[in-house]
Amino acid sequence: MDKLFYLIAIVFMFCTCWVLQEENQLWDQQRQILKAANNKAVHASLFPVESLNAGTILIPENAAFQAYKEVLEENLGLDEMLQPKPGSPVLSQIRILHFEVIDEHSGRQFPFLYENSEYHLAKYLRGPAVVAVIEMDFPRIQTFQFTIRVPSIYEYARADI
């Protein structure tokens, strides 16, 4: 009888470890998918450059955000409300927490150290940049949900700096 309890305990521990490992791998895959899509979207949002007058790069924030959102929707298979469509690689709705364009309009001189304490970001920027942070709830087996938060910064690094 003791051996039966040991066997049940070992099988239970094995199954628990296996399920948690599968869940961890799925979390890693979801984060990689979000990171790749966010990087592509931030990269695309830097290109609606408005003016190159006198060597300055001006990025219209509305056009940049629209390009960012379109590329994010396309790469993750989302609808206009950022909900996953059938066949989408993501598991739940995406939220855009932060979107910021840093260019000559912002009044900052390049190079400078960009810091955002709310999202724990710091990067030395050598030129105009776009910063975006997205988040997704990751459903877990436990009763609570875990969020995946992914930041991306893409800069137009000027060679003269």
Give the tens place of pLDDT for each residue, 125-156: 988 899 999 999 887 666 566 889 999 999 98
pLDDT in tens, 86-106: 988 998 899 999 999 998 887
Cβ proximity of 8 and 15 under 8 Å: no
Overall pTM surpassing 0.85 (yes/no): no
Share of the chain above pLDDT 70, in %: 89
Confidence of residue 53 (pLDDT cuts 50, 70, 90): low
Ranges of each domain in the chain: 2-155
Q: Give per-residue pLDDT as tens, 54-76.
A: 667 788 889 999 999 999 999 99
In 3D space, the residue among 23, 5, 4 whose CA is nearest the CA of residue 15 turns out to be: 23
The pLDDT of 13-19, averaged and rounded, is: 89
When the pLDDT of each residue in the chain is averaged and rounded to a whole number, the result is: 87
Taking a C-beta distance cutoff of 8 angstroms, is the pair 127, 57 a contact?
yes
